Amino acid sequence: FFLGGTDTVEFPIKFTPKYPGCYHCQIVLKSSCDIRVYEIECVVNADQADAQLEFLTPAYQAVTQEIPISNKSSEDWRFEVLLEGQCFYGPPVMNVPVGKTVPYPLTFKPVAEK
**pLDDT attached to residue 6:** 62
**In the chain, where the domains are located:** 63-108
Residues 4 and 44: their CA atoms lie apart, in Å, by 36
Tell me the mean pLDDT in the region 34-48. 81
pLDDT at 114 exceeding the cut of 70: no
Laid out side by side, the sheet with 63-70 consists of 63-70, 101-108, 88-89
43-87 pLDDT tens trace: 887 766 566 777 777 778 888 989 898 888 888 999 899 888 888
pLDDT bracket for residue 2 (50, 70, 90): very low
Element (H, E) at 64: strand 63-70
Residues 96 and 75: their CA atoms lie apart, in Å, by 9
pLDDT bracket for residue 1 (50, 70, 90): very low
Burial 22-39 (b: 16+ CB within 10 A, else e): eeeeeeeeeeeeeeeeee
**pLDDT attached to residue 103:** 93
